[in-house]
Amino acid sequence: MEKRNQQNSDFVVIKAIDDGVSVIGLTRGTDTKFHHSEKLDKGEVLIAQFTEHTSAIKIRGNAKILTHFGEVESEIKK
């Protein structure tokens, strides 16, 4: 049975406030690269997890982000 690294098992919940929210997963390692992206429409929810491959998640657009640290909202620059 594979032992999971607790440090890498954090989840985030991302809820789109407007259409067109981009969620982009970034890789670990010496060269950070995009490895996955999703587009969310208003009201859609994505549950994402930090893994051995994902070290960061970039969110572009108006969205509510929930983590075990608390809640934050992203915004579009105007």
DSSP SS3 for 7? helix
- Order of strands across the sheet with 34-40? 34-40, 21-27, 54-60
pTM confidence score: 0.78
Percent of the chain with pLDDT over 70: 87
Q: All domains of the chain, ordered by start, with CATH?
A: 6-73 (2.60.40.50)
Quote the mean pLDDT of the chain.
85
Q: What is the pLDDT of residues 36-55, one digit of tens each?
A: 899 999 999 999 988 888 88
Task: Give the model's pLDDT for residue 6.
Answer: 47
